[in-house]
Amino acid sequence: MSNDDSSQLVVTLPDNSQRQFASGTTVLDVAYAIGPGLGDDTVAGLVDGELVDKATPLDADARVEIVTRDSDAYLRVLRHSTAHVFAQALQRLHPEARLAIGPPTDDGFYYDVANVDLDTDDLADIEAEMADIVEEDLPIERVLVDREEALARYADNPFKREILEQEAAGESPVSFYEQGEFADLCKGPHVSSTGDIGAFELRNISAAYWRGDETNETLTRVSGTAFESEAELRAFLDRQAEAERRDHRRLGRELDLFSIPEHSPGCAHFHPRGMAVRRVLEETIREQNARLGYEEVWTPTLNRAELWKPSGHYDAFREAGEMFVWEQDGEEYGLKPMNCANHAYLYGRTQHSYRDLPIRFAEFGEIYRNEQSGELSGLFRLRGLTQDDGHAFVRRDQLEDEVRRVLRSIEALYDQFGLDVLYKLETKGDDAVGSDEVWELATTSLRDALDAEGLSYDVADGEAAFYGPKIGLDARDALGREWTIGTVQVDFNIPERLDLTYVGEDNEAHRPVMVHRALLGSLDRFMGVLIEHCAGKFPPWLAPEQVRILPVSDDYLDYARRVADELGEFRVDVETREWTVGRKIRQAHDDRIPYMLVVGDREATSETVSVRDWDERERSDVAVAAFREELRKECAEKRGRPACAEREY
């Protein structure tokens, strides 16, 4: 549809149909134009993906989606409104409290506050006041306030004044939302009344830095959640309780897998048991790399900063404050924030023919990112981490096939862990370098590879790295949560910037294309995801201790050790503590051991074992050699749960 009149604009609806409206038409006007019922049900709108108040006027062509109570986005509106109800309740009980910011989140909402001393004992009183505000059914109304009046309202609130001077710089009037005696600077949107708030709960109190910057003032953050119904809230709280039960930080301590001590902030120590799991992960990746034709390399963590400047990584990481750098003897040095430049060096140190390509390097590369202290979170967010990184240098005619081979490998790999893979095509962003032509070519190659493999995917416009588009890999775990893990990226720019070449069939110099690939991403982060996915019960092939032999008394320790020797190819331990056999079994269950082999007089006499697994299935009189063969098959097939105890021997 053409748009010749500057006073007219085009609205594209979710079904891709288009309508023409006068400039200044509001989201609510669009809804009523579609139908009076939709207009009556409108709560808010999504304009080019941004959630806005239904009174928001449109001043340019836009994609518009009407938000009603049935929309996915409605929960975000409800939670934002609940954050305001919390703030109103807090100021009724503690008028001295200064409000900072209170947005909705994926799981609920939070509000950062200052000038008030709160602890968990205060939450019940605040919740009771919130319930009263909901019962009062106060209309929530958007009002426009002159800028000078807004600044005067916040004469003693530096946080709101900063928002006015930065996010709302130059705006006049500015948007407030009022409910009863309470008003808050806010862009919205919100539900129409406090009575629309359903079920809610305040969850916890924590500390937070203003703007997430540890150099700023420390605030008190009160977090909560809200749903339309009590049943939805209870279901959510049950899921949260299960997530807490699976928390990898707690299980890491209980199962003696890893620790992150104060002397190594953001850097994990892997204990022998955790390292056993990590080694199996590494060998699994090495198997995939061998199939894909990658050669393993190692590159140093410490480099001169000059290494990263031509590629653009130095500027990108320094601007984000994520790079550890220092000066020494007139030189600037840094800790490696990624492996790309080192692998590009390995490629560029010799001349290559078109016949040599693809050339593929893989590395378990140790990298460092200067993450803020407040953002560190167990294995999920570290300063020091190890990537299962890989880079392939290919000709253009090899590009799509290379990406497809990696995608097939990813499907097989994640299936071994019982994780569903979700794909996201991330396209060119505002910080992109290089020509539109190479970006289009790179993006098309990724899209064609996904389509050719029959994989469904979402498109995330503008989220690519500065040097090339990528396929982001998310893993969906046992609780339905999605975790960003690996990536596949196509890069024409770094070979250009670093002057990487190969000699073509025409004896001329040509640029290779660089395919960046991380199958599991950070091994550390993936281990955290895996611990929570399995609730610490690793499948037998991956478990740090696959078999524990439990002698019923010390009289059978020698036989237990002989059995352990016969199972020496596996990770086996003998329980030597002077406990009852019942206590030994309970401890093995607590330790999430896949197999317990109980041995006593009967087993020692017949040279057998009694097999018991973590699901409490049992089988007696099993020959050690037969058990060994079944466990060997189970590990080779990478089965997800122990099955030897239900086999016929």
The DSSP-derived string for 341-377 is HHHHHHHHTS--BTTT--EEEEEEEEEE----GGG-B
Task: Give the residue carrying structure tokens 């009022």.
Answer: 178
Q: How far apart are CA 567 and CA 564, in angstroms?
A: 5
Q: When comparing pLDDT for 3 and 95, which is higher?
A: 95
Of the candidates 187, 369, 517, 525, the residue annotated as catalytic is 369
At residue 2, the pLDDT reads 43
Cα distance from N-terminal residue to C-terminal residue, the chain = 73
Residue 203 has pLDDT above 90, yes or no: yes
600 to each of 476, 549, 552, 605, 609, how far by Cα in Å? 43, 11, 5, 8, 8
Q: Which residues are annotated as a binding site for Zn(2+)?
A: 340, 391, 516
What per-residue string of b and e applies to 356-368 under the rule 16 or more CB within 10 Å gives b?
ebbbbbbbbbbbb
CATH H-level superfamily of 258-299+337-534: Bira Bifunctional Protein; Domain 2 (3.30.930.10)
Percent of the chain at pLDDT > 90 equals 82
Residues 6 or more apart whose CB falls under 8 angstroms from that of 9 comprise 3, 20, 21, 22, 23, 25, 58, 59, 60, 61, 62
List the 109-114 sheet strands across, edge first. 98-101, 109-114, 218-227, 199-209
3-state helix, strand, coil in the chain (%, to 5): 35, 30, 35
Q: How far apart are CA 481 and CA 475, in angstroms?
A: 8
Looking at residue 148, what DSSP letter applies? Answer: H
30 to each of 19, 33, 63, 446, 499, how far by Cα in Å? 9, 5, 11, 37, 53
pLDDT band at 649 (very low <50, low <70, confident <90, very high): low
576 to each of 555, 560, 568, 594, 605, how far by Cα in Å? 11, 10, 17, 18, 20
Q: Which residues are annotated as a binding site?
A: 340, 391, 516
Residue 512 has pLDDT above 90, yes or no: yes
84-94 confidence digits (pLDDT tens) = 999 999 999 99
Of 522, 484, 485, 487, nearest to 268 by C-alpha is 522
User: What's the average model confidence in pLDDT over 203-224?
Assistant: 92
Active site residue 516: yes
At residue 138, the pLDDT reads 97
Tell me if 368 sits within 8 A of 337, measured CB to CB.
yes
Residues 6 or more apart whose CB falls under 8 angstroms from that of 632 comprise 569
The ranges assigned to domains in the chain are 8-68, 73-231, 258-299+337-534, 540-644
Of the candidates 79, 246, 391, 612, the residue annotated as catalytic is 391
Torsion of CA 588, 239, 523, 513, to 10 degrees: 150
For the record, the structure tokens of 515 come out as 């395919």
Residue 569 identity (one-letter amino acid): E
What Rg, from alpha-carbon coordinates, does the chain have?
30
Helix (H, G, I), strand (E, B) or coil at 255: coil
Of 287, 254, 284, nearest to 539 by C-alpha is 284
At residue 435, the pLDDT reads 85
550-578 confidence digits (pLDDT tens) = 999 999 999 999 999 999 999 999 999 99
Residue 272 has pLDDT above 70, yes or no: yes
292-328 confidence digits (pLDDT tens) = 999 999 999 999 999 999 988 888 888 878 889 999 9
Average pLDDT, the chain: 92
Of 177, 175, 196, nearest to 78 by C-alpha is 196
Q: How far apart are CA 92 and CA 357, in angstroms?
A: 70
320-371 confidence digits (pLDDT tens) = 788 899 999 899 999 999 999 999 999 999 999 999 999 999 999 999 999 8
Helix (H, G, I), strand (E, B) or coil at 462: coil
At residue 460, the pLDDT reads 87
Q: How far apart are CA 469 and CA 452, in angstroms?
A: 18
Of the candidates 184, 389, 477, 491, the residue annotated as catalytic is 389
User: What's the average model confidence in pLDDT over 284-298?
Assistant: 95
Task: Give the residue carrying structure tokens 């700023």.
Answer: 216
Torsion of CA 153, 156, 159, 163, to 10 degrees: 30
Of the candidates 54, 186, 340, 591, the residue annotated as catalytic is 340
User: What's the average model confidence in pLDDT over 95-110?
Assistant: 95
User: What's the average model confidence in pLDDT over 418-440?
Assistant: 87
Helix (H, G, I), strand (E, B) or coil at 421: strand
Q: Which CATH architecture has domain 8-68?
A: Roll (3.10)
At residue 321, the pLDDT reads 83
53-74 confidence digits (pLDDT tens) = 999 999 999 999 999 999 999 9
158-172 confidence digits (pLDDT tens) = 999 999 999 888 888
Active site residue 340: yes
At residue 1, the pLDDT reads 43
| Prior bond of 173 cis (ω within 30°) | yes
At residue 5, the pLDDT reads 54
Percent of the chain at pLDDT > 70 equals 99
Residue 438 has pLDDT above 60, yes or no: yes
Q: Which CATH architecture has domain 540-644?
A: 3-Layer(aba) Sandwich (3.40)
Of the candidates 88, 288, 387, 546, the residue annotated as catalytic is 387
Q: How far apart are CA 132 and CA 592, in angstroms?
A: 47
Active site residue 186: no
Rounded to the nearest 5°, which phi and psi values hold at 545? -130, 110
Q: Which CATH architecture has domain 73-231?
A: 2-Layer Sandwich (3.30)
2-23 confidence digits (pLDDT tens) = 445 558 899 999 998 999 999 9
Q: How far apart are CA 475 and CA 169, in angstroms?
A: 40
- pTM for the whole structure: 0.84
Residue 547 has pLDDT above 90, yes or no: yes
Looking at residue 484, what DSSP letter applies? Answer: E
Of 391, 385, 348, nearest to 489 by C-alpha is 391
Active site residue 534: no
At residue 405, the pLDDT reads 93
Of 517, 238, 452, 499, nearest to 344 by C-alpha is 499
Task: Give the residue carrying structure tokens 């004992």.
Answer: 121
Q: Phi/psi class of residue 538: alpha, beta or left (left: φ > 0; alpha: ψ in -120 to 50)?
A: beta
Looking at residue 225, what DSSP letter applies? Answer: E
Q: How far apart are CA 612 and CA 616, in angstroms?
A: 6
User: What's the average model confidence in pLDDT over 48-53?
Assistant: 92
At residue 168, the pLDDT reads 87
Cβ atoms < 10 Å from Cβ of 34: 17
Active site residue 72: no
At residue 371, the pLDDT reads 87
Sign of the Cα pseudo-torsion (244, 246, 252, 253, in order): positive
At residue 508, the pLDDT reads 94
524 to each of 237, 255, 366, 381, 547, how far by Cα in Å? 28, 16, 11, 9, 25
Task: Give the residue carrying structure tokens 């629309």.
Answer: 196
User: What's the average model confidence in pLDDT over 388-399?
Assistant: 95
Active site residue 389: yes
What per-residue string of b and e applies to 616-641 under the rule 16 or more CB within 10 Å gives b?
eeebeebebebbbebbeebbeebebe
Active site residue 447: no
